[in-house]
Amino acid sequence: MNMDNFFWNGKRVLITGNTGFKGSWLSRILLNAGADVYGYALENSDKYSIFNAISLEKEMHCFYGDICDETKLSAVIAETSPEIVFHLAAQPIVRRSYDDPVYTYRTNVIGTASLLNCLRKCDDLRAVVNVTTDKVYENNESGDPFRESDRLGGYDPYSGSKACSELVTSTFVSSFFNPEQYGISHSAAVATARAGNVIGGGDNAPDRIIPDCIRAVRENKTVTLRNPGAVRPWQHVLEPLVLYIMLAEKLYEKGTEYSGAYNVGPSLKDCMCVEEIVKKMQSYIPALKYDLSTSERRSEPHEAEKLTLATDKIEKVLGFRNKWGIDDCIRNTAVWYSDQLSGKDMRVVTDKMIQEYFEEL
Ligand SMILES: NC(=O)c1ccc[n+]([C@@H]2O[C@H](COP(=O)([O-])OP(=O)(O)OC[C@H]3O[C@@H](n4cnc5c(N)ncnc54)[C@H](O)[C@@H]3O)[C@@H](O)[C@H]2O)c1
C-alpha cells in the first residue's frame, strides 16, 4: 500500500468523528491517497489537537452536528452519497462515562443506530467500518487475551455502550444489510473493529495518559498517574487506521465474506503498564514529570487492570501485522509532540510520519 493508492483515488468516503484524534489521522491518510473525504462530527476548538494543528478543516468537506441528529445526518448523507463509511464519532472516555452515562449511551448507541438507519437510504454505500474498542468484552481480569467470540459486556458505561454499539450493528446487519440480501436489496458489507489503546501525536482528549502528560509539560506541571499498573495493548494510531483502511477495501471489493467483528491490537509483547509507557516517553521528553498518587487512586472509578487481545483473526484475514513495536510507537509519538512544542509545521511533520510508515509496509 502506498500513498497514491489507486483504490482510494476519487472514492467518496464519510468519516464520522473526523475532528477527533483518530478521525483526523484517518482523514489525512485518505486525503493523501486521493479520496474525496467528508466528515461529520462536533466542532473542535483545541488549537493543539491534530485536527487544528494540521488545518484539516481547510482540506476536507466538514459537516458539524450531533451524531444522533438524524435529520442533519441524513441530509449530509444524501448530499455526499458515500461509498465507504468509517464510524468513529463517540464519547470515548471511560471517566467521562461515569460522570455522564446517559450522554455516553446516547452518543455511542443511539448515534450508531442513527448513522446505520440513515445509511439504509444510501444507494452507493458499499462498506461500513464501525470502530468500537477492546473494552467491549466482559472482563473477569483473568489476563487471557480476548477473542472475537468472547462474551460482550463492560463494567463501566463507556465499555457497555460500545458493547451495545456492537449489538446495534449486528441487528442492523441481520435486519437491513443481511448478507443473504447482498446484491439484491442492498450492496453494503459491514464490519466492526475492536481496537486497543492507541497513542500518537495530536490527541487532545481529557483523561488519557499521553495527552495528560503533554498538557503537564506545556503547563510545567507534574502529571499524576492514576492507574500506573494497568496493562494495555498499546499501539501507534497509524496501525489500527491502516487495518480499518484495508478492511474497508476488502468489504468494498469482496463484500460480506469480510463482514463481522475484528480485534485490532499489537502483539502481546507490546502490552505494557501505564508507568512503563510514561517512563519511555520521559526518555524522549525529559521535561515530563510524573508521580504516583495512592490517595487519589483509592477514589478512582473502576478501570480494568488487565486487558489484552488475540489478533490472529485480522492478521490471517488481512495478512498484516503491526509494523511499529512499542519503542517505535512511543518514539514517533514523542517526536510529534516535541515538534509541536518547538513550533514546527505540523502538517509537514504529520505527512512525513505517514509517508515513513507507509514506506515500511
Ligand atoms: N483513542 C483510543 O485509544 C481508542 C481506542 C479504542 C477505540 N477508540 C474509538 O475510536 C473512536 C475515535 O476515538 P478518538 O480517540 O479519536 O476520540 P476523540 O475524542 O479524539 O474523537 C471523537 C470524535 O467523535 C466526535 N463526537 C463526539 N461526540 C459526538 C456527537 N455527539 N456527535 C457527533 N460527533 C461526536 C468528536 O467531535 C470527535 O470528532 C471512538 O469510537 C473510540 O471509542 C479509541
Residue nearest atom 41 in ligand 1 by C-alpha distance:
88
Using the predicted structure, report yes or no on whether residue 3 has a pLDDT greater than 80: no
Q: How far apart are CA 103 and CA 109, in angstroms?
A: 10
Q: What is the DSSP letter of 160?
A: H
Ligand 1 atom nearest residue 197's Cα: 3
Query: How far apart are alpha carbons 88 and 23 in whole angstroms?
Result: 7
pLDDT of residue 142: 82
In this predicted model, which residue has the larger pLDDT, 273 or 349?
349
CA of 90 to the centre of ligand 1 (A): 4
The pLDDT-based confidence of 226 (bands split at 50, 70, 90) is confident
> What is the C-alpha end-to-end distance of the chain, expressed in Å?
7
Q: Which of 14, 21, 67 to mutate to test the pocket of ligand 1 (most atoms within 8 A of CB)?
A: 21
Higher-confidence residue: 139 or 124? 124
The more confidently predicted of residues 226 and 136 is: 136
Using CA atoms, how far apart are residues 214 and 201, in angstroms rounded to an integer? 10
Q: What is the mean pLDDT of residues 22-49?
A: 97
Q: Residue 305 has what pLDDT?
A: 62
> Cα separation of 349 and 130, whole Å?
28
The ligand 1 atom at the shortest distance from the C-alpha of residue 199 is: 3
The ligand 1 atom nearest the CA atom of 198: 3
pLDDT for res 158: 97
Average pLDDT, the chain: 93
Which residue in this structure is represented by grid cell 494540521? Answer: 54
Instruction: Indicate the helix (H) or strand (E) that contains 85.
Output: strand 84-87
Q: How far is CA 81 from the centre of its chain?
A: 23
Which protein residue's CA is at the shortest distance from atom 12 of ligand 1? 88
- Number of other CB atoms surrounding residue 177 within 10 Å: 23
Residue spans of the domains in the chain: they are 6-199+234-266+302-326
Tell me, what's the pLDDT at 293?
66
The pLDDT value given to residue 231: 83
Read off the C-alpha cell for 8: 482510494
Bigger pLDDT: 325 vs 113: 113
Given the C-alpha cell 459491514, which residue does it identify? Answer: 190
| pLDDT recorded at residue 4 | 46
pLDDT surpasses 70 at 310: yes
Identify the pLDDT of residue 292. Answer: 87
Task: Determine which of 155-164, 269-278, 340-349 has the lowest per-residue pLDDT on average.
Answer: 269-278
pLDDT at 157: 97
pLDDT band at 277 (very low <50, low <70, confident <90, very high): very high
Q: What is the 3-state secondary structure (H, E, C) of 279-339?
A: HHHHHHCCCCEEEECHHHHHCCCCCCCECCECCHHHHHHHCCCCCCCHHHHHHHHHHHHHH
Residue 295 alpha carbon to ligand 1 centre in Å: 30
Mean pLDDT within 33-43: 97
Taking the centre of ligand 1 as the mean of its atom positions, its distance from the CA of residue 92, in whole angstroms, is 5
User: In whole angstroms, what is the distance from residue 341 CA to residue 122 CA?
Assistant: 43
- Which contacts (CB < 8 Å, 24+ apart) does range 122-125 have? 122/77, 122/78, 122/81, 122/82, 123/81, 124/12, 124/81, 124/82, 124/83, 125/82, 125/83, 125/85, 125/186, 125/187, 125/188
Whether 298 has a pLDDT exceeding 90, the answer reads no
Residue nearest to atom 43 of ligand 1 (CA): 92
164: Cα within 13 Å, side-chain hemisphere? 18
**The pTM is what?**
0.96
Please name which of 4, 199, 3, 164 lies closest in space to residue 90, comparing C-alpha atoms: 164
What pLDDT digit, counting tens, does each position of 182-222 carry?
Answer: 999 999 999 999 998 899 999 999 989 999 999 999 999 99
User: How far, in Å, is the centroid of ligand 1 from the Cα of 132?
Assistant: 10
Query: To test the ligand 1 pocket, which listed residue (88, 197, 264) has its Cβ within 8 A of the most ligand atoms?
Result: 88
Q: Is the pLDDT of residue 16 over 90?
A: yes
pLDDT at 93: 96
What is the tens place of the pLDDT at every residue in 164-176?
999 999 999 999 9
Q: What is the average per-residue pLDDT within 347-353?
A: 98
Say whether pLDDT at 163 is over 60. Answer: yes
Q: Which of ligand 1's atoms lies nearest the C-alpha of 43?
A: 37
Report the alpha-carbon distance of residue 250 to residue 258 in Å, rounded: 7
CA 121 to ligand 1 center in whole angstroms: 25
Q: What is the DSSP string of 196-251?
A: --EE-TT---TT-HHHHHHHHHHTT-EEEESSTT-EEE-EETHHHHHHHHHHHHHH
CA of 108, closest atom in ligand 1: 41
Q: Give 304's pLDDT tier (boundaries 50, 70, 90).
A: low
Per-residue confidence (pLDDT) for residue 300, from 0 to 100: 63
Ligand 1 neighbours (beta carbon < 6 A): 17-23, 41-42, 66-67, 88-92, 107, 131, 133, 195, 197-198, 205
Neighbours of 361 (CB within 10 A): 11
Bridge partners, residue 260, by sequence: 191
Evaluate if residue 72 carries a pLDDT over 90: yes
Residue 16 Cα to ligand 1 middle (Å) = 9
6-199+234-266+302-326: CATH topology is Rossmann fold (3.40.50)
State the CB neighbour count (10 A cutoff) for residue 262. Answer: 21
Which residues, in sequence order, are bridge partners of residue 191? 129, 260
- Tell whether the model's pLDDT for residue 96 goes beyond 80: yes
The proportion of the chain whose per-residue pLDDT surpasses 90, expressed as a percent, equals 83
Instruction: Give distance in angstroms: CA of 30 to centre of ligand 1.
Output: 18
